[in-house]
Amino acid sequence: MTQDTARLATERFAVWRHLIMLVGNTLMAILWMVFNSTFTLRTAAGGFLFVAVVLTIYRRSYLRWLARIFLYTGYLTWQIAASCIEVAVNILTGKRHRQALVAYELRADTDIETLLLASSITLTPGTIAVDSRFRPDGRRLLYVHLLDGRDPEQFRLQTRRGFERRIMQLARE
């Protein structure tokens, strides 16, 4: 087993461990509401936070990972809203688009990172992930259709600094 293969296996295990802990956290928060006989958002949030603190004692990185999940969700929501407004303005003003198909070289190594990035790009209006391929040197390429493809380099830079950086932080915690 090479060093890269071992690192990828460890990262995959870490992602699944955190996801299992998140599901466990949610289930225990539901149990918290059952034991308190109160089914309100306040009780659910309190139970979720209590269980998160307990799980953080068990696994120190869990709370940091959970915070990154919420930050990523907020970032994705913001990007979707901003893109919706941009696309709506372009349509209402009758602006002509210069569409483009862009090859984006991924820094992401794992399938889960590629899946999250492709899904995030596709959820954002004006962009859609079309295909993912391996180059001969083993690096992944993600082909993305841009509604406004006047500046593909800006798209690459924004994706690398925005979505991909945050996804890699989540997956490699």
Whether residue 13 is found in the same domain as residue 93? no
Whether residue 98 is found in the same domain as residue 115? yes
What is the predicted pLDDT for the residue at 8?
55
Whether residue 42 is found in the same domain as residue 74? no
Residue type, 156: R
Query: Is residue 31 classed as helix, strand or coil in its secondary structure?
Result: helix
Whether residue 129 is found in the same domain as residue 172? yes
Half-sphere exposure of 129 (CA within 13 A, CB side): 21
The residue range of the domain holding 47 is: 1-59
Whether residue 71 is found in the same domain as residue 52? no
Q: How far apart are the first and last CA of the chain?
A: 22
Whether residue 55 is found in the same domain as residue 76? no
Number of domains in the chain: 2
Whether residue 71 is found in the same domain as residue 50? no
Whether residue 75 is found in the same domain as residue 30? no
Using DSSP, how many helices (H) and how many strands (E) does the chain show?
6, 3
Q: From first to last of its 173 residues, what are the pLDDT tens digits of the chain?
A: 565 655 555 556 666 777 777 777 787 787 877 877 878 888 888 887 777 777 777 676 777 777 888 889 899 999 999 999 988 888 888 877 789 999 999 998 888 888 889 999 999 888 999 999 988 888 899 999 998 888 999 999 999 999 999 988 887 76
Whether residue 113 is found in the same domain as residue 129? yes
